[in-house]
Amino acid sequence: MSLFSPHFPSLPLLLLPLLLLIISFATPSSSASSVVAFIFGGCSRAKFTPASAYESAVNSVLTSIVNAAMFSSYNNLTVPLSSSQDTPIYGLFQCRGDLAAADCSRCVGQAVSQLGTLCPDSTGGALQLDGCFVKYDNSKFLGVEDKTLVLRKCGPSLGFTSDELTRRDAVLVYLETSDGMYKTFRTTSSGDFQGVAQCVGDLSATECQDCLSNAIGRLRVECGPAQWAQVYLAKCYARYSKGGDYSPGGNGEHKNKNDDELQKTLAIIVGLIAGVALLIIFISFLTKLFKKDRDGK
């Protein structure tokens, strides 16, 4: 009997919500959700006139950013206005250095979407998510070093032992020096300490190093022996955590690795239950189908 036979009974519609619910619970919670966690955002005070040439240029910049993020993790662009006397619109995006291409593209798309809500009719705006950074403005910022403090958060003070302080400092030293090698994105760990730092790709090597040194210096002085800490400057950031992966978009709670393992285990169990449930539904469905065929003969 063909599956497309007119005698083939349709699956009861009441089962569809159940299947969708099972699938939603069976899908493992992914760390990819933290990629789009909000860090900070800001908008210029100046506004543009809706339906103006400026709005078209802003839309062009943001659309180009979304398109470019499908093929690269960093890019900047300049979109001129209709008049040669008008200041062009500058745009830039950058993804965290360890992101996969799909996550980078998704993060940038989410950032651009949020910018439209956060900064309606603003001549400039910037948004930092956990996994990416997007900015546009008519003031030229490309290639300009900017160490303005945008965000600083310090976790609870732990009162490190000398060994813990040594490991924490080892993480910060590597983030600052990168063993003498120039890298815009840097990540390292020492024991249960993890750290990550990154500067925006339009800076020179010297400017990047200067920015990161400033951010890491602030971490040491202003956060002290904190369980986790993060400092975001306008063109770079640095952060570290102890004993797990700190979710910077959250409320400062520490995400323990054991929680991740528990979530994975629960996802597997729910997935198995869902599979068994679907198998029972399918067997029941086939039983009714063959019974109907037998009764019809």
Query: Of 137, 163, 179, which residue sits at a domain end?
Result: 137
Residue 200 located in a structural domain: yes
Q: Is the model's pLDDT at 247 over the cut of 50?
A: no
Which helix or strand (DSSP H or E) is residue 53 part of? helix 53-68
- For residues 221 and 172, the answer to whether their CB atoms sit within 8 Å is no
- Quick count: other Cβ atoms within 10 Å of Cβ 294? 8
Give the residue-averaged pLDDT of 95-115: 97
Confidence of residue 107 (pLDDT cuts 50, 70, 90): very high
Query: Of 109, 137, 165, which residue sits at a domain end?
Result: 137
Residue 226 located in a structural domain: yes
Higher per-residue confidence, 244 vs 223: 223
Residues with Cβ < 8 Å from 210, sequence gap 6 or more? 145, 147
- Quick count: other Cβ atoms within 10 Å of Cβ 16? 10
Q: Is the model's pLDDT at 10 over the cut of 90?
A: no
Tokens 């499908």 correspond to: 70
Q: Is the model's pLDDT at 19 over the cut of 90?
A: no
Pair 167, 192 in one domain: yes
What is the pLDDT, as a whole number, of residue 222? Answer: 95
What is the pLDDT, as a whole number, of residue 15? Answer: 42
Q: The domain that contains 99 carries what CATH number?
A: 3.30.430.20
Please choose, from the candidates 89, 32, 14, the residue with its C-alpha nearest in 3D space to the C-alpha of residue 59: 89
Query: Of 84, 117, 137, which residue sits at a domain end?
Result: 137
Residues with Cβ < 8 Å from 273, sequence gap 6 or more? 22
Q: Is the model's pLDDT at 263 over the cut of 60?
A: no
What is the pLDDT, as a whole number, of residue 158? Answer: 80
Residues with Cβ < 8 Å from 2, sequence gap 6 or more? 8
- The phi and psi torsions of 200 (rounded to 5 degrees) equal -70, 140
- The phi and psi torsions of 207 (rounded to 5 degrees) equal -65, -40
Residue 164 located in a structural domain: yes
The domain tally of the chain equals: 3
- For residues 148 and 211, the answer to whether their CB atoms sit within 8 Å is no
Residue 105 located in a structural domain: yes
User: Structure tokens of 260?
Assistant: 């991740």
Pair 155, 251 in one domain: yes
Over residues 269-295, the pLDDT tens digits come to 545 655 655 666 667 666 766 666 666
Residues making up the chain, counted from first to last? 297
Pair 126, 158 in one domain: no
- Quick count: other Cβ atoms within 10 Å of Cβ 55? 14
Containing structural domain, residue 42: 34-137
Residue 142 located in a structural domain: no
Distance (Å, whole) CA 75 – CA 19: 42
Instruction: Kindly write down the DSSP assignment for every residue of 222-257, as one continuous string.
Output: II-SBSEEEEEETTEEEEEEESSEE-TTTTS-EE-H
User: Structure tokens of 102?
Assistant: 């799909």
| Pairing verdict, β 254-255 and 74-79 | unpaired
Higher per-residue confidence, 81 vs 5: 81
Pair 163, 230 in one domain: yes
Q: Which amino acid is at 84?
A: S
Q: Across all residues in the chain, what is the average pLDDT?
A: 81
